Amino acid sequence: MNGENGGGKNCCSGPVPGPGTILCWALVFLLLSGCAFPPFARLNSNLRAMKETSYLTGTVTQRSREQPRVIVALYEGSDQGGELITSTSVETVGYFAFTVPRGGEYCLAAFEDRNGNGFYEPGEPSAVACGEERVKIPKDTRIVRLDLALDPLQQLPKLLAKQIAIAVPDEKNCIHVAFGEIAELSDPKFSPEYGKKGLWAPFDFLAEAGIGVYFLEPYDQQKMPVLFINGAGGCPRDWAYFIDNLDRSRFQPWFFFYPSGERLGNLANVLNDIIRQLQQRYGFSGLYVTAHSMGGLIGRDFILKQLVGGAPLAHWFISLSTPWSGLESAKLGVTFAPAAVPCWYDIQAGSPYLDELFQRRLAPEVASFLLFSYRGDRNPLSENNDGIVTLKSQLRWEAQADSVKIYGFNQDHDTILVNRDVFDAFMLILDGTEMGGVARK
């Protein structure tokens, strides 16, 4: 085990501002220099790109037991073929995601690359969505979904097949989505720099790094999955202290890697899709969801979305320092900043998104544990806080009502992730000793 405080603040603190600190300092710089603050310039560029671009996503269903690699092509044209925009290969889960200009009409095609040569050959199961089935992207729509089912009787247009064969795969216009890829915390994309980029430049983040759930080791059915979700401006390395001390013989850590500047409902939808796909692949019966700060909002939303499709896979939900009633600083950002990070609309105090999160209670089979921090500034004119989030926000009564147990710690918003007492409470929950037959009413 590591020492008492694990060596200081988390990776997105110290020299690199923490998630809440970034927001507060952004507002200070805004008053001092207006639009000259570099993150706002980058944010404005990303917001323009987001207004002009939609995400075309979907899955490809295969009949083959072998489940070979599938090539998915995006093109403009007709049933006979057309101009290839881009193509990508998808593995076992068959999930694809493209970026396309809004207001256009596009065709999709997919085929099983049975011999792995990268181009279509007659007889390989395929699918085509074109003609009357072409994908139309409304100018006011950000995400369009179309699922494809491969058919051994379907033939790809000859012109399209030829273009795919001669095209050099460059993955442009493609969003990489990770479904349990194995990585290391030292991976550059898990760094504080990418954490900041995910907040201030979510469009660039998606294009460069993608989104998804990562493993630190191959899946092991004998170990319980623990899904970690960082907060705004955070990164997977925020959980380094927890990972260093986690009993890896019993638990396997997973991470949700995402652009934290995005709207939270969209992020929860993506997480739900990924976890459902992983469950179909591996058959696990449950997982722990552990989330810090804004990540707790995504975690609750994700669990509620699971309830719509059936029983939740997340039977345990542990939140740390989560702004359940939002942040006044985000509200100031939405009101006065030259550009607003999309997630600010959701985490601002009194937002419809926050109210919607508590229109339904968590299912009785979901054991929720609320961990809060209270070592903040001592300004007598300020509400009690942890330096970023007020206690009033962390202790929203509905969040308390949904909790099996509540723990308070004399830590600030960042050090709660590197404190031994906090980790011991976390392990007590994972060990199941806090359940004690207590059921939430």
What one-character DSSP code corresponds to residue 383?
P
> With bands split at pLDDT 50, 70 and 90, how would you rate the model's confidence at 37?
low
Specify which of 87-91, 141-145, 231-235 reaches the highest per-range mean pLDDT. Answer: 231-235
Q: For the chain, how long is the longest CA-to-CA vector?
A: 75
For residues 36 and 243, the model is more confident at 243
* 43 residue type, one letter: L
Q: Which CATH class is domain 19-36+179-430?
A: alpha beta
CB 82 within 8 A of CB 124: no
Q: How far apart are alpha carbons 173 and 432 in whole angstroms?
A: 45
Predicted TM-score (pTM) of the model is 0.88
Report the CATH number of the 52-166 domain.
2.60.40.10
Q: Give the position of tokens 């955070």.
A: 234
Mean pLDDT of 48-66: 88
Distance of CA 159 to the CA centre of its chain: 38
The pair of structure tokens assigned to 307 is 């309830």
Other CB atoms within 10 Å distance of the CB of residue 349? 17
What one-character DSSP code corresponds to residue 362?
P
Q: Give percent above pLDDT 90 in the chain.
A: 66
* 269 residue type, one letter: N
CB 138 within 8 A of CB 94: no
Q: How far apart are alpha carbons 388 and 233 in whole angstroms?
A: 13
Closest CA relative to residue 12, chosen from 334, 388, 346, 290? 388
Torsion angles phi and psi, residue 151, rounded to 5: -130, 125
Domain layout of the chain by residue ranges = 19-36+179-430, 52-166
Tens of pLDDT, residues 160-211: 888 888 766 566 789 999 999 999 999 999 999 999 999 999 999 999 999 9
Q: Is the pLDDT of residue 13 over 60?
A: no
Q: For residue 110, give every residue at least 6 positions away whose Cβ sits within 8 Å of its Cβ, in sequence order, or none.
A: 60, 70, 71, 72, 73, 126, 127, 148, 150
Same topology between domain 19-36+179-430 and domain 52-166:
no
Q: How far apart are alpha carbons 277 and 219 in whole angstroms?
A: 14
Alpha-helical runs (H) found in 53-186: 158-166
